[in-house]
Amino acid sequence: MIKADPKVYFIMGVSGCGKSTIGSLLANELKIPFYDGDDFHSKTNVKKMASGQPLTDNDRMGWLLRLNEIALAKREQGAIIGCSALKESYRRILDANLQEYARWIYLSGSFEDVMNRLRQRKGHFMPAELLKSQFETLEVPQKAINVSINMPPEKIVNRILELIKY
């Protein structure tokens, strides 16, 4: 059993990169809870995205603040939070007041790789058509563990575990 220091790990990347899958698997390995950011979007935001409209910074604000509240509440116990966090300004809101407790994990892949995944995904509110706007918005994090999505999920998790140095 792996015992982690209490940390909040944000798993970020564009829609379809594997945040939910990897976040769940990693949380299981580290024995800490996983929170899927998609579960905390307002109904209005989900409806907007489902209709093919990208969210504005204003649309996202309440969502980002809610995820920060969860992170702050779980900073001692630890948690994995999966959310797109495409801009540096979003990441600053998400890890506000967490100091050394927050770590970022960026699941990186090409537009083509992620689009192929999205075309195979069923039942998600985020349409594949919005992927282009996500890549246009993405500000690749400079201070994050960067892991390629071009491996099976178990290998991605093993690579993350190596990089977070437990």
Eight-state DSSP code of residue 74 = T
Instruction: Give CA–CA dist 166/164, Å, rounded.
Output: 6
- Token couple for 98: 């967490």
- Residue 129: its pLDDT value, please? 67
Give the CA angle between residues 62, 28, 103 to the nearest 5°: 50
Three-state DSSP state, 81: strand
Specify the residue for token string 């604000």.
61
* pTM for this prediction: 0.88
- Whether residue 1 contacts residue 94, with contact meaning beta carbons closer than 8 Å, is answered with no
Pair type for strands 8-12 and 102-108: parallel
Question: Structure tokens of 6?
Answer: 């209490």
135/159 Cα distance (integer angstroms): 24
* pLDDT averages per 10-residue partition of the chain, 166 residues: 69 92 96 95 88 86 96 95 95 93 95 82 58 89 94 96 82
CATH numbers and ranges of domains, the chain: 8-163 (3.40.50.300)
User: Hey, what long-range contacts does 94-99 have (CB within 8 A, 24 or more apart)?
Assistant: 94/10, 94/64, 94/67, 94/68, 95/8, 95/10, 95/68, 95/71, 96/68, 97/68, 97/72, 98/8, 98/71, 98/72
**DSSP-derived secondary structure letter, 10:** E
What is the pLDDT at residue 13? 95
